[in-house]
């Protein structure tokens, strides 16, 4: 998860992909935003975006970064869902879009079908310190996925870690594994029960399948308006 394109260069990612079967997680934050001399964030061109996407498995971005990468306004939940699904259809296994203290949206591939879902965040009340929230969320996702290989459950733990970090200053007060387990049980009990009911009844309340009859044109735009076109993409699920 590079802070910028020089911390972990693209060539390094390509070499890692060639020599390892490990799955690669990328938070696009440092590749699509920069810092000016006053430490203010600004958007920038995501250079060689096509090549990055060919060599990673998991893509994480926030809602603004998703719009910058898409090169268009993503106004509704459906817009983000279709964009995330289009990214997955290009070859990613998972695309995760965060919305700060609101929720997360995730799209993922299972067999030849693409699904998406909203995952709520944990509300701890007052926000104390947001520094490190993104890193904490990513750590929660990676830890959970390494254990369970389920991207939706990984976002649950990712959201939990990010929410916990926002409620404390620094990392010294971060709760123990047992305490985190209690937080997940308390805040996600109904959500997880609904997921289980869906599995048993095949009714889609939390998890939705992308089924579209038209072709998606998945593109990435740079800040100067240049278009990185990936051609026609069919962001659809298969019934097979």
Same domain, residue pair 83 and 14: yes
Taking the C-alpha atoms of residue 95 and residue 88, their distance in angstroms, rounded to an integer, is: 6
> In terms of DSSP H, where are the helices of 37-176?
49-54, 63-70, 77-89, 133-148, 151-166
Cα→Cα distances 111→32, 89, 114, 203, 238, Å: 30, 12, 8, 19, 9
Q: Does residue 215 share a domain with residue 198?
A: no
Cβ–Cβ < 8 Å for 105, 117: yes
- 223: domain CATH number is 3.40.1190.20
Domain co-membership, 233 together with 114: yes
Shared domain check, 128 and 64 = no
Based on the fold, state whether residues 77 and 89 are members of the same structural domain. Answer: yes
CB-based contact 26:52 (threshold 8 Å): yes
Domain count of the chain?
A: 2
Residues 50 and 17 both lie in one domain: yes
- State whether 68 and 11 are in the same domain: yes
Q: Check residues 213 and 214 and name the one with the higher pLDDT.
A: 213
- What is the C-alpha separation between 39 and 44, in angstroms, rounded? 15
pTM of full prediction above 0.75: yes
Same-domain pairing of 24 and 139: no
**Residues 194, 217 within the same domain:** no
118-169 confidence digits (pLDDT tens): 999 888 878 888 888 999 999 999 999 999 999 999 999 999 999 999 988 8
Same domain, 89 and 142: no
Q: Are residues 2 and 98 in the same domain?
A: yes
Q: How confident is the model at residue 204 (pLDDT cuts 50, 70, 90)?
A: low
For residue 1, give its domain range. Answer: 1-120+210-240
82 and 196, same domain (yes or no): no
Note the pLDDT of residue 1: 54
């Amino acid at each position: 998860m590079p802070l910028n394109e020089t911390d972990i260069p693209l060539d390094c990612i390509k070499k890692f992909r060639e020599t390892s079967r490990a799955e690669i997680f990328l938070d696009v934050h440092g590749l699509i935003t920069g810092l000016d001399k006053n430490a203010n964030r600004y958007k920038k061109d995501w250079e060689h975006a096509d090549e990055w996407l060919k060599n990673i498995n998991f893509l994480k971005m926030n809602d603004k970064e998703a719009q910058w990468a898409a090169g268009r306004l993503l106004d509704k939940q459906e817009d983000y869902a279709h964009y995330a699904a289009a990214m997955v259809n290009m070859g990613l296994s998972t695309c995760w879009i965060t919305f700060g203290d609101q929720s997360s949206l995730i799209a993922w591939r299972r067999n030849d079908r693409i699904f998406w879902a909203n995952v709520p965040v944990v509300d701890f009340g007052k926000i104390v310190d947001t520094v490190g929230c993104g890193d904490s969320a990513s750590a929660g996702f990676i830890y959970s996925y390494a254990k369970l290989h389920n991207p939706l459950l990984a976002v649950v733990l990712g959201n939990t870690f990010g929410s916990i970090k926002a409620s404390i200053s620094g990392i010294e007060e971060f709760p123990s594994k047992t305490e985190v387990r209690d937080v997940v049980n308390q805040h996600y009990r109904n959500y997880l029960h609904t997921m289980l009911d869906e599995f048993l009844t095949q009714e889609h309340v939390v998890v939705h399948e992308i089924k579209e009859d038209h072709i998606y044109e998945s593109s990435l735009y740079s800040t100067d308006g240049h278009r990185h076109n990936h051609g026609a993409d069919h962001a659809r699920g298969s019934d097979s």
